[in-house]
Amino acid sequence: MAEHFAFLLVEEFTHIAFSCAIEPLRIANLLSGQELYKWSFVSEDGTTAVSSNGSVTLVHHGFDAIPESDRLFVLSGINVQKHVSPQLLSVLRRERARGKRIGALCSGAYVLAKAGFLDGVQTAIHWEFHDSFMEEFPQVNLVRNVFVADEKFITASGGTATADLMLHLIERDHGYNLSVEVSDQMVYNAARDATAEQRVSLQSRHGMRNKHLARAIQMMTETIETPVSPSLIAEEVGISARQLERLFGKYLNCSPKKYYVELRLERARRLLLQTEQSITEIAMACGFESPGHFSRVYRAAFGVTPSVQQGRMG
């Protein structure tokens, strides 16, 4: 029996996230020769929804007639704050009371947080909303991951992260081989799992806002192969080690040491997925003292060893 996904489209929703949500499901049906998934669209007026690029999508249902479905995803985009109406919150609370599994894509996590669903829940949202979201919803466990799939409320940070989430769900429902076939059909051969972070966007954004943090991140990026101590980075940047700790805590919600290790692990993961280098070569290229040490740290972060990761993706 096909799994039914309903997508609640909030005005000015992000079209790239919309396409990345629907197309993996369509392609999974095509490649399997079965109707594994079906989907329908919902908007407040039950007629159309307008995305942030101006395209108009015809929808199947209004708020008063949301169909029976296995999952309901809220998809929004820019200016989400002005589109969170009492009617929208009411319908989400109604669907939750009915036992519906609810998720959010792009800025949709803001809507779920406004409805009071996400207290204490690990949550992903597009990096552009991070600062304001943390200020407004300090009780939500906001993470930098591209998506979170192992919580009661599934969230994805938007853009192509929505495709990553759908590929994850396809793998979970119908196996790894089908998810890879779908990814190949999309010419999307670097699909990320939930542990991947919105790294580049965060560096770009915070680099524009704080010159000390920008310089520290630049130094870390330039010294991945031969890591230096956070205290030396602070000295080079021209601030104290304690000030550096505060900057990373304020803007990135982690310590400089943790960020540095995650930066090196992300590079290692890309090398494992995208090159034929040996594990020893990758360990050295990412500043780990030995292949054994690299393997332990990698497994603790991603749940698999580098050799398993490389073999699975190879």
Per-residue pLDDT reduced to its tens digit, 33-48: 999 999 999 999 999 9
Whole-number Å distance between alpha carbons of 253 and 246: 9
3-state secondary structure of 208: helix
CB atoms within 10 A of CB 302: 19
Q: Does 140 lie in the same domain as 225?
A: no
Domain assignment of residue 304, yes or no: yes
Q: Look up residue 231 and give its amino acid.
A: S
pLDDT at 207 over 60: no
Q: Does 178 lie in the same domain as 56?
A: yes
Q: Does 81 lie in the same domain as 138?
A: yes
Domain assignment of residue 191, yes or no: no
Q: Does 219 lie in the same domain as 160?
A: no
Tokens in use for 172? 């979970």
| 57 neighbors 18 (Cβ within 8 angstroms) | yes
Domain count, the chain: 2
Domain holding 289: CATH number?
A: 1.10.10.60
Structural domain span for residue 49: 3-185
- Displacement of CA 130 from its chain's centroid (Å): 12
Domain assignment of residue 110, yes or no: yes
Domain assignment of residue 255, yes or no: yes
pLDDT more than 70, % of the chain:
91
Confidence band of 52 (pLDDT split at 50, 70, 90): very high
> pTM of the prediction?
0.67
Residue written as token pair 């985009």: 77
pLDDT more than 90, % of the chain:
71
Terminal alpha carbon distance of the chain: 32
Domain assignment of residue 194, yes or no: no
Domain assignment of residue 116, yes or no: yes
280 φ/ψ angles, rounded to the nearest 5 degrees: -65, -45
Domain boundary among 154, 185, 216: 185
Confidence band of 104 (pLDDT split at 50, 70, 90): very high
Whole-number Å distance between alpha carbons of 84 and 61: 18
Residues 273-310 have pLDDT tens digits of 767 889 999 999 999 999 999 999 999 988 889 988 87
